[in-house]
Structure 1
Amino acid sequence: MTVAIIIIVGILIIGALGIGLRRRQTSASHWVVGKRDIPKWTTWFLQAGESLTTFSFLGLAGLAFGGGASAVYAIGYLTMAWPINYFVAPRIRELAQRRGYLTMADYFEDRFRARWLGKVVAIIGAITLIPYLQLQITGLGMIVELATGSSSARGLSMVIASILVAIFVAWSGIKGIARVAILKDILMALALIVVIAGVAISFNGISPVFAEIADRTPTLLTLQADGFGPVWFVTSMLVTVIGAGFATLPHLWPPMLAAKSGEVLRSNSKWLPIYQLLLFIPIMVGMAAVLRLPSDTPGNAVLLTMTGNIVPDWVLGLVAVGGASAAMVPAAGIVMGISTLVSSNVLQNVSPARKMTVNYVVIVVALGLSLAFGLVRSDIGALLLLTYGGTTQLAPGIVLALQRKVRVGAWPVGLGVLVGVVTVATITFAGIPTGGIDSGLIALVPNLVVLVVAEAIRRARGGTAVEQVEFEDDAAVPVAR
């Protein structure tokens, strides 16, 4: 009972902090990106939020429990993505400020001069973010259930957290998310430190853990664990590097577009790779769990089950609050990404006065769907890779539009994206075996082939080599709102 009370109170405090603004944000632009002047440290926490999520808290320990060293793919992809982001993010932010972008779809629409392409990107982005939103809601429920041992507490916490996220995102927008993101990272860091300290005390250090694993199950210290071999490791890391590095997930855009300057984004890209070292903690906990928990323990239950075995109940409750915050902050950013895509790009004829109303409706619908799906237990690691696989198909278009002059037409890009997304969906829902190769990486092949062939046909039929020239002065007409 003590653990449940601590968790519920913690969730309520997190929600209250997000609603802390005295005035509701009524401008769609200010709601999404503020005045585009968010300073370095606030932007840091907004961008760092993608590193420490429920996947980090639950899924990563589960991967280490079943796949051993293969779990370090998460550290690898995040660390490699930031150097790419160092060049990509400032360029996107520059274009967004000059042209008035609020979403990724605005970028596609404006750079390729095709409103229909913006709609396609918005629809794909919104749909592929739903599994990622579900991941956060599902993860939060798992955290509460594992900490309290109550399935009813699981459902109740998911409902309460979803309602609070809907309220504080609708009320405060990017400013509310930023405020909660700071608390969330502090709570997560403290929770992970407490957990690894408990493991170290329990095993008389960390090195004995690996010594015993080397003696009992040495394959876990290699990339040879069943189902998590080198092919899985390399392809999963590549697809997520592309997705994170080129910002193919739509909810990554508001923090980029709201940053005070490109220099702020470059600074974050230099230092955030070090932040990823925290992810070694859930990996080490998952490895240690191999020595203490039954082999049939569900992967998502590993971290909190281990924690519950080595710390007092009230400490477990505080750790669970840190995990809950790791679900609520990303969920807030994701639901904002979905709602702005719908209100700004899918429904483009919405008047400014009604745009926020549309945002509110979409927030409720998106969270409601994710809550409904989340009440059915899911593999949160699989949900993460499904989202990355779908959104990675947008990477070629993002890269081509970064150039000073966009030389490829909208139709080739759009057709490539559609073929790639259909390929991911077919592989995923038809259960087609891929030999461990990530479906998103496989889908990039037909995506690029279609893009190249369609562009060749376009040029052969007289299509111009330059579809859009970047405007030189800031007085250029921005994307229509």
Structure 2
Amino acid sequence: MTHGVNTVALVVFVLFFLLVTVLGFVASRWRRADNGLHLDEWGLGGRSFGTWVTWFLLGGDLYTAYTFIAVPAAVYGAGAAGFFAVPYTIIAYPLVFLFLPRLWSVARVHGYVTPADFVRGRYGSRALSLAVALTGILATMPYIALQLVGIQAVLDTLGVGGGAGANWFVKDLPLFIAFAVLAAYTYSSGLRAPALIAFVKDALVYIVIIVAVIYLPMRLGGYGHIFDTAAKKFSAVNPTTHQPVGALTSGPKAQWAYATLALGSAMALFMYPHTVTGVLAAKSRTTVRRNMAILPAYSLMLGLLALLGFLAIAAGVGKGVKGYNPQLAVPQLFASLFPDWFTGVAFAAIGIGALVPAAIMSIAAANLFTRNVYKEFIRPAATPEQETKVAKLVSLLVKVGALVFVLGMDKQLAINLQLLGGIWILQTFVSIVAGLFTRWFHRWALLAGWAVGMVYGTWKAYGIASPATRHFGGSSAVIPGIGEIGYIGLTAFLLNLAVSAALTLVLRAGGSPEGVDETAPADYSAESGDPEPADAPQPVAAQ
């Protein structure tokens, strides 16, 4: 519930929003090639981003507004379980260091724009490529919607657009304006817009987090008092489950769930189309490798970010409020303890932290539809100019769809579908990552494995209830054959892998046609100095 508009914080918030809006439109002239109507230019920034631009772009892409809201909210509500995000990012970067440079190289040689392009070229299978593309779009949509949830939490705390009794238009007008501006500069500038804005976003996030973990504990009596308060809260018994509401450390029964969720999330992280888009925009294989080495610096920020959940408990945020929404814990913590002007800075970090990934996600979804649905099945003879125009229009439709989704449906549904999105996107891992190293898997076997993983993951998630919903109430269930609670996505992945391997043996024994592989071994180690694909515009030199 809001208690009037925080004018000072709102003015600071709006000023930063205006700054990034200007940057978004200016980005259309940044490193622009002669031919801007090419998907390489609009959708991948000309494949020209150097180490630092890529670092900021991927950081802005991976660490979203919802991360800023949800990670500390999970710690606020359950304690140690919410810290799973820290080990999963630590696991992710060494893992993807092994295969992302190979994906960049083969994409550079053949002009691939999406992971589904690679699957199409590697296995010669339109059906498998379509499955990967649709899974990517499906998993991305609720992710975009959740950026809106982050912005709404900020706007509600600022006291604008969320007052009781306001009609729907007045209540949601600030959100309409924010996403109309986002849609305009994304349409105009493509991937260059979030790449440029990411510099502002990441700088603000680091400033806010560092100030928060130093200044707020001084206001709250120190970390000793903060952890004591959190421990007291988590020791309380839930009258429904007759179990403690949380824990400062994960107990034996929770360790399988914690470990499998961290591992499965790490494997899924760079399967999302928007993260692949950020990688393929890099100017060289060396740029990709450097970023996998330096991106773990963000994991330190994530660990500090998670601590805000404990700080919110110590500050008494939401205490005694029946049915309190933990998603509001961080915004209300900032609003209650920061000076108004710095509250505006913190809220700008969250708001801009929504705009950057939302832009990249909509671009990635548009690239998938354009290359792997429109050109593959609707208009195979489409020119690069036609592809780009379609991608621009689809990026607008994706944003409108996400906006309607959030405004018209329960927020809990958006959260649950995002959890389901992680389960889904992990089922593309076998086709993409295995394909970067071996052609052993049969295309039909991979399609069958993908289908089994998707069906099992969706079915198990559907059967999970929570206090907020009857279905899709979580992402962990009993692991068959082990009896421990674990991440559904990882179990579905193992089933996917087993089916793919078993059917490959059967299909190979039966002599089933395997499809044409258009790639060559040398393609997977190609460097930036090698010849460009014939249909790609020449990118300008990195600045």
Residues 149 and 199 (structure 1 numbering): CA distance in 2 closer, same or farther, change over 3 Å? Answer: farther
Tell me the C-alpha RMSD between the 2 structures: 2.7
Q: Secondary structure at the match of 1:101?
A: coil
Query: In the alignment, which residue of structure 2 is the partner of 1:12?
Result: 18
User: Size of the alignment, in residue pairs?
Assistant: 476
Aligned amino acid, residue 136 of structure 1: Q
Query: In the alignment, which residue of structure 2 is the partner of 1:451?
Result: 500
Q: For residue 121 of structure 1, report the CA deviation from its aligned partner.
A: 1.3
TM (normalized to structure 2)? 0.81
Aligned counterpart for 2:106 among listed residues 92, 95, 99: 95
Query: In the alignment, which residue of structure 1 is the partner of 2:332?
Result: 305
C-alpha contact (below 8 Å) 1:98/1:478 kept by paired residues: no
C-alpha contact (below 8 Å) 1:78/1:276 kept by paired residues: yes
Report whether the alignment pairs 1:32 with 2:35. Answer: no
Aligned amino acid, residue 240 of structure 1: S
Query: In the alignment, which residue of structure 1 is the partner of 2:211?
Result: 194
Q: For residue 253 of structure 1, report the CA deviation from its aligned partner.
A: 1.5
Query: In the alignment, which residue of structure 2 is the partner of 1:363?
Result: 395
Q: Secondary structure at the match of 2:477?
A: coil
Aligned counterpart for 2:422 among listed residues 368, 388, 394: 388
| Structure 1 or 2: more helix by fraction | 1
1:450-474 deviation digits (Å, cap 9, x = unpaired): 2123212211111478963615477
Q: For residue 423 of structure 1, report the CA deviation from its aligned partner.
A: 2.4
Residues 216 and 429 (structure 1 numbering): CA distance in 2 closer, same or farther, change over 3 Å? Answer: closer
Q: For residue 103 of structure 1, report the CA deviation from its aligned partner.
A: 0.6
Q: For residue 224 of structure 1, report the CA deviation from its aligned partner.
A: 4.2
Stretch of structure 1 that moved more, 394-403 or 194-203 = 194-203
C-alpha distance in 2, partners of 1:124/1:145?
33
C-alpha contact (below 8 Å) 1:18/1:177 kept by paired residues: yes
C-alpha contact (below 8 Å) 1:99/1:479 kept by paired residues: no
Unaligned runs of 5+ in 1: none
C-alpha contact (below 8 Å) 2:161/2:174 kept by paired residues: no
Aligned counterpart for 1:213 among listed residues 206, 209, 230: 230
Report whether the alignment pairs 1:181 with 2:198. Answer: yes
Q: For residue 359 of structure 1, report the CA deviation from its aligned partner.
A: 1.3
Q: Secondary structure at the match of 2:441?
A: coil
1:150-202 deviation digits (Å, cap 9, x = unpaired): 41676223212221221122111121121011111011112223333342121
Pairwise mapping of residues 401-416 of structure 1 onto structure 2 (< 5 A)? Answer: 401-403=435-437, 405-416=438-449
C-alpha contact (below 8 Å) 1:145/1:154 kept by paired residues: no
Aligned counterpart for 1:53 among listed residues 60, 64, 72: 64
Q: For residue 282 of structure 1, report the CA deviation from its aligned partner.
A: 2.7
C-alpha distance in 2, partners of 1:64/1:189?
20
Query: In the alignment, which residue of structure 2 is the partner of 1:418?
Result: 451
Stretch of structure 1 that moved more, 25-34 or 358-367 = 25-34
C-alpha contact (below 8 Å) 1:198/1:307 kept by paired residues: no
Query: In the alignment, which residue of structure 1 is the partner of 2:466?
Result: none
Query: In the alignment, which residue of structure 1 is the partner of 2:312?
Result: 289
Residues 480 and 194 (structure 1 numbering): CA distance in 2 closer, same or farther, change over 3 Å? Answer: closer
C-alpha distance in 1, partners of 2:458/2:391?
27
Residues 109 and 476 (structure 1 numbering): CA distance in 2 closer, same or farther, change over 3 Å? Answer: farther
Stretch of structure 1 that moved more, 441-450 or 318-327 = 441-450
1:106-126 deviation digits (Å, cap 9, x = unpaired): 010011122232222111211
Query: In the alignment, which residue of structure 2 is the partner of 1:230?
Result: 255
Aligned amino acid, residue 160 of structure 1: I
Report whether the alignment pairs 1:438 with 2:481. Answer: no
Report whether the alignment pairs 1:259 with 2:275. Answer: no
Query: In the alignment, which residue of structure 1 is the partner of 2:176?
Result: 159
Stretch of structure 1 that moved more, 373-382 or 79-88 = 373-382
Query: In the alignment, which residue of structure 2 is the partner of 1:116?
Result: 127
Query: In the alignment, which residue of structure 1 is the partner of 2:82?
Result: 71
C-alpha distance in 2, partners of 1:347/1:123?
12
Identity percentage of aligned residues? 25
C-alpha distance in 1, partners of 2:249/2:511?
54
Aligned amino acid, residue 286 of structure 1: G
Aligned amino acid, residue 176 of structure 1: A
C-alpha distance in 1, partners of 2:45/2:495?
39
C-alpha distance in 2, partners of 1:281/1:480?
42
C-alpha contact (below 8 Å) 2:157/2:332 kept by paired residues: yes
